[in-house]
Chain A
């Protein structure tokens, strides 16, 4: 069974609009962490945002925010005021357990985002 599911292979958004990229996860571990990374066409992986399973508030980093719904096991990435440079692949990843005893990240298949001018 997939532990990280990203159901949107491709998404389009108009420049300056907001877009939500979906991510659902599956784990029985009460402690876990969720990450979003961006992979532009140049190929590098860029860390965007992190949400811990015990965090009370949704994470935010500039134009990125994470809509964390624990009961639904979803951790959707919201990008506000999209820019042309946001066009890239976006990956959701999960670490099961605490960072002290597990560092392995499990990855989704990614969502390709295209920002239209």
Chain B
């Protein structure tokens, strides 16, 4: 049973470019979460999605960031016009529906570097 897949593992962008991060949840999981980890810090929640719905986006910056989880295909975290401060590790996690305590299974992360 494959775990949570994220690609690319490493992404380098120049300021002003767009970054697209992909996440394929574990089989049978319909809940996806995105977190950001700045160097030397813990994770910060960004967004929680179910298929075709954004459930909680309270951690998403108001501008330049968007996320989707379409009916078919992976979840996408999109960052437009990247700036140096966007450099971080972005983790995706997933959980099955009806989980008793909401345990989240994490992918390996995408390390974004903005030059």
CB contact between B101 and one of A42, A46, A52 (< 8 Å): that residue: A52
Q: Give Cα A44 to B89, complex, Å.
A: 10
Residues of B within 8 A of A102 (CB): 56, 102
Does B55 touch A at the CB level, under 8 Å?
A: yes
Structural contact, A107 and B44, CB atoms closer than 8 A: yes
B8 at the interface (CB under 8 A from A): no
Q: How large is the interface on A (under 10, 10 to 19, 20 to 34, 35 or more residues)?
A: 20 to 34
> B45 and A99: CB pair below 8 A?
no
B residues within 8 Å of A by Cβ? Answer: 31, 33, 35, 40-45, 48, 55-56, 58-59, 89, 91, 93, 95, 99-109, 111
**Chain A positions 34 through 51: 1 when the CB is less than 8 Å from some CB of chain B, otherwise 0:** 010100001111110010
Task: List 7 additional A-B contacts (Cβ < 8 Å) besides A33-B101, A99-B99, A104-B45.
Answer: A35-B103, A43-B108, A44-B106, A45-B93, A103-B33, A103-B104, A104-B59
